[in-house]
Structure 1
Amino acid sequence: MKLTLDLHDIYNRGGDIDRALRAVIADAVAKKAPLVEIIPGKGSGALKKRVLRFLDQPEIKSQYHRVEKDSKNFGRVFVHFRWK
């Protein structure tokens, strides 16, 4: 199971971005999903940096295993979870 969050529609609404990111992480934890795909898009890279800063917060970082930046598609970030 992979959850996907596409941020194209809310790229310029800061509060909505944070809520959407928190919701997809919470959903992944609740469903024990192994992977979340976040699509900030290519653009200037500002939204991707915002997503990475969000994921680097201690209370968020403690919930996932690792973050992978897609080497083939600059506009995509994968968040991997490890469940016991």
Structure 2
Amino acid sequence: MNLIPEWRKAPSMWSVRLGVIAALLCGLQPVVPHWEGVLPEWAYAVLASAVAIAGVVARLIPQQRVTTERERRKTHV
């Protein structure tokens, strides 16, 4: 497995950001029963699923801020 050339820019990628949020939501799952009065039962599942799906979609969309100089030159030639 090789890292992508622009791996240092990972925090600016939406797919990475949404992946971190999804991981945090999974980590908070044991705490959800304590929020019964604040959060409806279905809301947490919908929120976690929506973030995970958004992460997959964000991974499929090209992200302009992370393209390398070499890729930019290819598109302008």
TM-score (norm 2): 0.30
Which protein is bigger by CA-based radius of gyration? 2
Judging by fraction of residues, say which structure has more strand.
1
Q: Which has the higher helix share?
A: 2
Query: Which structure is richer in relative contact order (CA contacts within 8 A, separation 6 or more)?
Result: 2
